[in-house]
Structure 1
Amino acid sequence: MRVNILMILLTIYSVSNAQKMDCSKQVKEYKDFLILKKMDESIQPWESVLKNCPKDNPELYTDGITIYQYRIETAKSSEEKEKVVRDFMKFYDQFHKNFPEKSKDYEIKKGLLLVDNSIGTDDEILTLFESGFSKVKDVEGRVIFSYFKLFNKKYKNTDSKISTNTYVEKYSSLYQLTNEMLLSKPKYSDEYNATLRSLKSEARSVINCENLTAYYDDKINENKENVQWFETALDILSNRCSDKPIFLSMAQKFYDLNKTAKSSSFLAMAFVKNRKNNDAKKYFEEAAILENDSIEKAKIYYNLGATLYNDDLEKTKQFMNKAISFDPMLDRAYLFLSNAYVNNAEKCTDNNFDKKAVYYLAIQTIKRAQNKNPKFAGKYDSLIAELEKKSLSVEEIFQAKLFGKTYKIKCGINEIVEFPQKK
C-alpha cells in the first residue's frame, strides 16, 4: 500500500515538473516569435502557457496584451473583432485575478477597449470607468475625457436622471483628478492640459455661473474645512465667474481656512474683479512671498506689473525684473518691459537722441530674451526690425562717440544703455 502511495506521489510530481518544463519551453518559443514579430506563430504557444501556467509570471499578461492587440487589428470582420475584444476583457479579468497588484486598472483598460473599438453600450463603459476610477489614482488624460464625454451625453439625454448638481460634482471631481495628475506627472503636462481644455469645452453649456453658484451654495457648509474642495471650486469658478459674489465669498473663506500663495492669489483676483486694486495689490504681493515655486512666483510678479502697476513705469520695471529673476525664460516679461519703454519714449523731450536711445533699450531688452533660450532666437526678429526704424543708427552712435561706452537715459526711464565695441 505504501509503495502505491509513493508511486502516485512520484507520478504527480513528475507530471507537475514536466508541465513546468513544457511551460518554460513554450515561453521561450512564443517570446522568440514575438521578437521576430511573427505574431501568428506566437499565439499557440502563448495560449498553451496561459492555460497551463497562468500564475508563473506577469510577463505572460503583458505579452498577451500585445498579442490581443494584434488580433484586434487583424480581425477580418466586425463580429470577429467583437469576439476578440470580449475575450480580451476576460483576459484582463484573469490578469487581475492572478496578479492584482500589477493590474489595478484592469476595469479602466476594459472600458478603453470598448471605447477604442466602438463596442458595448454607454452604460457598460460608464460602469467600468466608475468602478476603475475608485480603485486607481493614476489615470490617463484620454480616459478621463472619454469617461466625462459619455457622462455628459447621458446627462443630456431627455430621460436622464442625473441632476445638475450631480453633473457639477462629477465635473469637479474629474477636474480635480486631472489637476492632480498634472502635478504628479509633469512629463505629461501637455496631455493633461489638453484634457482640462477638453473638459471645459465639453461642459461649457452646463458649467456656468448660475449652476456653479447653486451647487457651491448648497455644498459649502459640508465642505467648510475641506481645503482641496475650496481650491478646486475656486479654480473652476475663476475660469468664467471670478467677478461674481460667490467667488469673492469663497476666496475669503478659503484664505481664512488656509493662508497660502494659492488662497492669496484667489483673493487678489476677486478684489481685481471688484475694482479694489489696493487690496488686490496687497494679496498678490503676499502670494508672491508665500509662493515657493520660482516659476509660479515669476508669474505672480508678472501679473502684478502687467495689470495693477501698468501705469507706473517704476513699479512695472520692478515687478518685471523680479519676474525675470525668478524665471529667466519668461519671455513675455521681457516683451512687456520693452513695450513699457517704448510707451514712454515720447516723454523723453530733452532731445531726439534720448528718444532713439529708448528704442535701442527696448531692442536690447527683447534680445535678452532671445539670448536666454535658443527657442526664442528669431522669434521676435520682425518686432526688432520695426523698433530699429526708430532706434539709434550706427552712424549716430559713432558721432556721439559711444561705442564701447554706456549712456544713461533719464526722462523717467532711468536706465543705462551699454553700447558694444565698434566692429
Structure 2
Amino acid sequence: MKAFFSLIAILFITNSNAQKFDCSSTITTYQELFQARNIADAYDTWSLVRKNCPKQSEIVYTDGILILQYKIDNAANAEEKESLVRDLMKLYDQYNKNFPSTTTDFEVYKAMALHDNKMEATDEILSLLDNAFSRASDSITNANAIYTYFSLCHEKYKAGNQKFNAELVLDKYTLVNAMLSNLQNTNPDKANEYRTAQRGINSLAKDLTTCDNLATYYENKYQLNSDNNDWILGALTNLGDKCSAKPIFNKMAQIFYATKATSQSAYFMALNSLKQKNFEEAIKFYTQSADLEANPQARAKIYYTLATGLLFGDKAKSKESLNKALQYDPTLGSAYLFLAELYANVADECGKTDFEKKAIKYLALQTAKKAIVAEPKMKAAADKIVERLASKSPSQAEINKEKMNGKSLTIGCWINETITFPAK
C-alpha cells in the first residue's frame, strides 16, 4: 500500500512539472531566437521543448532539423560536426516514434543526413536506404536519395561484392526507374529533378543495361510479374526504343496494350511496329498515342516525331503533323525550322514560275523566323537558314517588277499557303 501511494505521488509530481512547462510559448520563444540568429539560446530553448513536449507538434521536429543543421554547418571541428549529425539522426528516430504516420521514410532522412553532411559511413547509409526502400518505397520522393541508393548498390557491384550481383542491381535499377517515372507524373513541379536523377542512373547502369542483359533479365522475371501492369510498364520503359526489337518487348507491348489503350501503351506498340518494319501500323499507333496523350507538350513531341520520321516521305502529311505539334506546343521552334526546310526543298517542284520558286524560298525564310519568336534559343539555327535563303528570295527589284508590293500570292501544291510581300 505504501508503494502504491509512493507511485501516485511520483505521477502527481511528474504531471505537475509537465503542466508547469508551457510548450506553446516556449516554441514561440525558440522560433524568435532562431529567426534572430541567436542560435545558442534557440538550441537550448528548443532542447527543453524536445525533452518536455515530444508529442506537442511536428513543428518541434521540423524546426529542430533546421536548428541542428545550422549548428552542423557551423560546427567548430569534425568531432562536433559528427556528434551533431548523430543527434540529428536521433531526432529523426524520435520524430518517427511520435508521428509515425507522416514519417514512414524517416530512414531515408537519416541516411541523407549522413550523406549530405559528408560522413564517412557508406555501409550505414546503404543499410538505412535499403531498409527504407524495402519498407516504404511508396513514400520516398527525394530524387537525390533515389540516385544515391542506386549509385551505392552499383558501386558494390563494381567492387565485386557477391551480395550485389548483376541480377540484384538490375532489380534495384527496375525499382528506382519505375519510382522516378511515376514521380515525374505525380510531382510535376519537381519533374526536372527526377529526370536528372534518372539520367544519372541510366549513365551509371549502362554497363549492365545492354539490350541482351535487359532482355534476358525481363524474360526470366516475366512469369512472376505477368499480371503486374506497373512492372510491365517499367520493363517496357527500361527496354525503350533501343531494345524494342527484342521478342520480350514485343510480347509485353502487346499484353500491355490489350489491357488498356493509353498513350503509353500505344507508344510502345508504335515502337514495336517500327522495329518490325510495319510502318503503316507504326503511324497508326503513334497517332493514337498522340491523340490519347493528355499533356500538350508530350502530344506535340509525338506529332513532331511523326512528321520528321515516318511521315517525312509524304510532305503534305508531314506538314499536317507539324501544324498539330505547333497547335499543342506553340513554343516548339524546331517544328518551324523543319517546316521551313520542307518548303525550301520543294521550290522547284511547287513553283510554276521563277518568281513563284523564289517566293517559296521567301515563305521558308519567314517560317524560319517564326522559330526565333517561338523559342529564342533556336535563334542561331534559324539565322543560318534565314541567311542561306535570303539570296534565293525575291529581291525588292523583282517584287517591283512583278508589281507585288504589299500584295499576296497563294501557292498551291501541297503547301497551300498565302505569301504577303512587303510594301515599298
TM-score, length-scaled by structure 2: 0.90
Task: Report if aligned partners of 1:265, 1:283 keep a CA contact under 8 Å in 2.
Answer: yes
Distance in 2 of aligned mates of 1:246 and 1:195? 27
Which of 288, 291, 299 is the aligned partner of 2:290?
288
Note the C-alpha offset of 1:374.
6.4
Q: 1:417 is paired with a residue of what secondary structure?
A: strand
Structure-2 residue corresponding to 1:92: 92
Q: What amino acid maps onto 2:197 in structure 1?
A: T
Distance in 2 of aligned mates of 1:402 and 1:149? 65
Note the C-alpha offset of 1:348.
4.4
Distance in 1 of aligned mates of 2:15 and 2:142? 46
Note the C-alpha offset of 1:78.
1.8
147-156 or 36-45, which deviates more = 36-45
Structure-2 residue corresponding to 1:113: 113
The alignment-based identity, stated in percent, is 37
Which of 174, 177, 190 is the aligned partner of 2:176?
174
143-152 or 216-225, which deviates more = 216-225
Structure 1 residues 118 and 320, CA gap change in structure 2 (3 angstroms): same
Which of 251, 254, 267 is the aligned partner of 1:252?
254
Structure 1 residues 120 and 414, CA gap change in structure 2 (3 angstroms): same
Q: What amino acid maps onto 2:152 in structure 1?
A: L
Structure 1 residues 161 and 414, CA gap change in structure 2 (3 angstroms): same
Distance in 1 of aligned mates of 2:356 and 2:123? 71
Note the C-alpha offset of 1:340.
0.9
CA deviation map 1:34-86 (0-9, x unaligned): 11112123121111221222222221211111111122112222222211111
Distance in 2 of aligned mates of 1:398 and 1:104? 76
Note the C-alpha offset of 1:216.
1.1
Which of 364, 367, 381 is the aligned partner of 2:366?
364
Note the C-alpha offset of 1:159.
3.3
96-105 or 111-120, which deviates more = 96-105
Note the C-alpha offset of 1:178.
0.3
Structure-1 residue corresponding to 2:322: 320
Q: 1:213 is paired with a residue of what secondary structure?
A: helix
Structure-1 residue corresponding to 2:336: 334
Q: Structure 2 unaligned segments of length 5 or more: list them.
A: none
Distance in 1 of aligned mates of 2:334 and 2:116? 40
Note the C-alpha offset of 1:201.
0.2
CA deviation map 1:88-121 (0-9, x unaligned): 1111111111222343332111000111123253
**Counterpart check, 1:273 vs 2:272:** no
Distance in 2 of aligned mates of 1:12 and 1:173? 49
Which of 127, 144, 147 is the aligned partner of 2:146?
144
Note the C-alpha offset of 1:12.
6.3
Q: What amino acid maps onto 2:171 in structure 1?
A: E
54-63 or 281-290, which deviates more = 281-290
Structure-2 residue corresponding to 1:46: 46
Note the C-alpha offset of 1:411.
5.2
Structure-2 residue corresponding to 1:33: 33
Structure-2 residue corresponding to 1:355: 357
Note the C-alpha offset of 1:237.
0.8
Note the C-alpha offset of 1:193.
1.0
Distance in 2 of aligned mates of 1:58 and 1:350? 77
Structure 1 residues 386 and 43, CA gap change in structure 2 (3 angstroms): same
CA deviation map 1:265-296 (0-9, x unaligned): 11211222232212212222232333343333
Task: Report if aligned partners of 2:334, 2:378 keep a CA contact under 8 Å in 1.
Answer: no
Distance in 1 of aligned mates of 2:213 and 2:377? 43
CA deviation map 1:173-202 (0-9, x unaligned): 100100111111111121111111101001
Structure-2 residue corresponding to 1:226: 228
CA deviation map 1:195-216 (0-9, x unaligned): 1110100100001111111111
Note the C-alpha offset of 1:370.
3.7
Structure-2 residue corresponding to 1:73: 73
Structure-2 residue corresponding to 1:384: 386
Q: What amino acid maps onto 1:105 in structure 2?
A: D
Distance in 1 of aligned mates of 2:285 and 2:102? 47
Note the C-alpha offset of 1:382.
4.1
Structure-2 residue corresponding to 1:154: 156
Structure 1 residues 14 and 338, CA gap change in structure 2 (3 angstroms): same
Structure 1 residues 267 and 7, CA gap change in structure 2 (3 angstroms): closer
Structure-1 residue corresponding to 2:421: 419
Distance in 1 of aligned mates of 2:97 and 2:12? 30
Task: Report if aligned partners of 1:138, 1:181 keep a CA contact under 8 Å in 2.
Answer: no
Distance in 1 of aligned mates of 2:127 and 2:28? 38
**Counterpart check, 1:185 vs 2:219:** no
219-228 or 304-313, which deviates more = 219-228
Q: What amino acid maps onto 1:304 in structure 2?
A: L
77-86 or 202-211, which deviates more = 77-86
Structure-1 residue corresponding to 2:166: 164
160-169 or 376-385, which deviates more = 376-385
Q: What amino acid maps onto 1:64 in structure 2?
A: G
Task: Report if aligned partners of 1:227, 1:258 keep a CA contact under 8 Å in 2.
Answer: no
Distance in 2 of aligned mates of 1:9 and 1:164? 58
Q: What amino acid maps onto 2:228 in structure 1?
A: N
The alignment of Structure 1 onto Structure 2 pairs a total of residues equal to: 417
Structure 1 residues 350 and 141, CA gap change in structure 2 (3 angstroms): same
TM-score, length-scaled by structure 1: 0.90
Q: What amino acid maps onto 1:212 in structure 2?
A: L
Structure-2 residue corresponding to 1:305: 307
Task: Report if aligned partners of 2:368, 2:385 keep a CA contact under 8 Å in 1.
Answer: no
Q: 2:313 is paired with a residue of what secondary structure?
A: coil
Aligned alpha-carbon RMSD (Å): 2.6
Structure 1 residues 390 and 236, CA gap change in structure 2 (3 angstroms): same
Note the C-alpha offset of 1:264.
1.7
Q: What amino acid maps onto 2:99 in structure 1?
A: F
245-254 or 45-54, which deviates more = 245-254
Distance in 2 of aligned mates of 1:258 and 1:169? 26
Structure 1 residues 121 and 271, CA gap change in structure 2 (3 angstroms): same
Task: Report if aligned partners of 1:407, 1:416 keep a CA contact under 8 Å in 2.
Answer: yes
